[in-house]
């Protein structure tokens, strides 16, 4: 069996890690990557799945390797200005997540792949074509053709969105990234509500990464920079920011039986609660289930699309009550989030399940996953956000 993984961003490394750790050692696992393609080094906040996957595949631990990834432990998320009282979204023991410099991940992981796995191979170059038949997947890299049993495409943002669906419940579409060259000394990700959206703060060992998220159809870039400078960073230099504009979307076909999309090729939603790692891991899990015969590929694709919808539900649940700011951004965010939850049948099923589990008052259930969050996270959001979603009278 030959499997290729296109791309070496976080999703690409996670996919390679998964294949090398779980598939038979006589299966050949290829990484296909273009050395000229840059990896965004913003600083990344992860879910628990990413350090766990790296531990299982290449023996990564923060105790031994934090310096190599400029990494810090993440024990949760601090929500500031979403309500009058700030609160934490906790990561439950025995798990942890991390913050790290994603531009360092490829070099770190590849060194270990090469030492630990004789079935790891590389092909360097630009992917010029990718297609599949019922039996194989075919790639052309730098004018040379290759044949694989399966390809996992983590090649980044799509060039063509014709087979994608855009989200109608995501409020932000732009981000201004600001780095502070000072070590950070906290073990959580900041999620700070602003009048125009929200701002993440990521602590690394050598620096801090801050991202001001907003909607450019509601707030101009100039007004976003003004707010950033006047209310958050007085010494902010607008000449040294990175600007990212993005769409929120998911692929209509994540798996066609031979080609599996993952990472930004499959889905991109805003970064709140760092749930992308959850999605990457779920995609890989269902792919493994397909290979062992548990599902046929239309079922596999359907289940992956359900996980994408889980993320929209989770994001909408957080946003539906707005923040301490009564501004055009937050009015729009509340409206589109509530509309999503009102129409979604999966959400009604999740409400019923969470309500029943809450009524049992069984602490052993707190780590059980329902959709994108575990039970404790849903109940914490309900309490701190002052919702009354999972009351026993429903």
pLDDT at 37: 75
How is residue 312 written in tokens?
A: 């929209």
Q: What is the mean pLDDT of residues 377-382?
A: 96
Of 43-47, 69-73, 133-137, least confident by mean pLDDT is 43-47
392: exposed, middle or buried (Cβ count in 10 Å: 0-12, 13-18, 19+): exposed
Residue 252, Cβ neighbours under 10 Å: how many? 11
Give the list of residues 6+ apart from residue 42 with CB closer than 8 angstroms, or none: 102, 177, 202, 209, 211, 242
pLDDT tens figures, 72-121: 999 999 999 999 999 999 999 888 999 999 999 999 999 999 999 999 99
pTM recorded for the entire structure: 0.95
d(C-alpha 233, C-alpha 299), whole Å: 49
Residue 371, Cβ neighbours under 10 Å: how many? 23
* Virtual torsion, Cα 183, 186, 188, 191, nearest 10 deg: -80
pLDDT tens figures, 260-308: 999 999 999 999 999 999 999 999 999 999 999 999 989 999 999 999 9
Res. 39 pLDDT band, cuts 50 70 90: low
393: pLDDT strictly greater than 70: no
Q: What is the mean pLDDT of residues 22-47?
A: 87
Mean pLDDT of the chain: 95
Domains along the sequence of the chain with CATH? 1-43+102-156 (3.50.50.60), 344-394 (no CATH)
Q: Using omega within 30 degrees of 0 as the cis cutoff, is the peptide bond preceding 94 cis?
A: yes
pLDDT tens figures, 218-240: 999 999 999 999 999 988 777 88
Residue 184, Cβ neighbours under 10 Å: how many? 19
Q: How far is CA 245 from CA 21, 77, 95, 166, in A?
A: 35, 24, 33, 14
């Amino acid at each position: 069996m030959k499997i290729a993984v296109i791309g070496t961003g976080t999703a690409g490394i996670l996919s390679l890690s998964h294949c090398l750790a779980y598939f038979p050692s006589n299966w050949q696992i290829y990484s296909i990557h273009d050395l000229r393609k840059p990896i965004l080094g913003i600083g990344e906040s992860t879910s628990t799945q990413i350090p766990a996957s790296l531990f299982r595949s290449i023996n990564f631990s923060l105790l031994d390797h934090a310096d190599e990834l400029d990494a810090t432990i993440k024990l949760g998320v601090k929500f500031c200005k979403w309500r009058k009282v700030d609160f934490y979204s906790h990561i439950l023991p025995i798990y942890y997540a991390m913050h790290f410099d994603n531009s360092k991940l490829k070099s770190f992981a590849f060194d270990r792949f090469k030492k630990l796995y004789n079935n790891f191979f590389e092909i360097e170059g630009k992917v010029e074509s990718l297609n599949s038949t019922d039996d194989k997947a075919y790639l052309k890299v730098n004018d040379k053709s290759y044949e694989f049993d399966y390809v996992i495409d983590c090649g980044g943002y799509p060039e063509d969105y014709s087979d994608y669906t855009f989200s109608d419940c995501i409020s932000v579409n732009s981000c201004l990234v600001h780095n502070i060259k000072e070590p950070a000394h906290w073990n959580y990700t900041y999620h700070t509500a602003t009048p125009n959206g929200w701002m993440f703060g990521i602590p690394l060992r050598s620096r801090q990464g801050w991202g001001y998220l907003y909607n450019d159809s509601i707030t101009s870039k100039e007004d976003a920079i003004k707010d950033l400078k006047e209310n958050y960073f007085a010494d902010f230099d607008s000449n040294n920011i990175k600007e990212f504009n993005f769409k929120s979307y998911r692929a209509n076909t994540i798996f066609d039986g031979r080609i599996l999309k993952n990472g930004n090729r499959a889905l991109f939603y805003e970064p709140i609660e760092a749930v992308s790692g959850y999605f990457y891991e779920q995609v890989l899990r269902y792919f493994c289930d397909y290979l062992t015969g548990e599902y046929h590929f239309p079922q596999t694709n359907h289940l992956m699309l359900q996980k994408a919808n889980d993320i929209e539900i989770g994001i909408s649940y957080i946003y539906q009550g707005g923040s301490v700011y009564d501004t055009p951004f937050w009015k729009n965010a509340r409206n589109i989030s509530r509309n999503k939850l009102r129409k979604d049948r999966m959400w009604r099923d999740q409400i019923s399940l969470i309500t029943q589990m809450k009524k049992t008052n069984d602490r052993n259930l707190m780590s059980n996953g329902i959709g994108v969050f575990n039970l404790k996270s849903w109940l914490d959001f309900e309490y701190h956000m002052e919702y009354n979603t999972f009351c026993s009278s429903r």
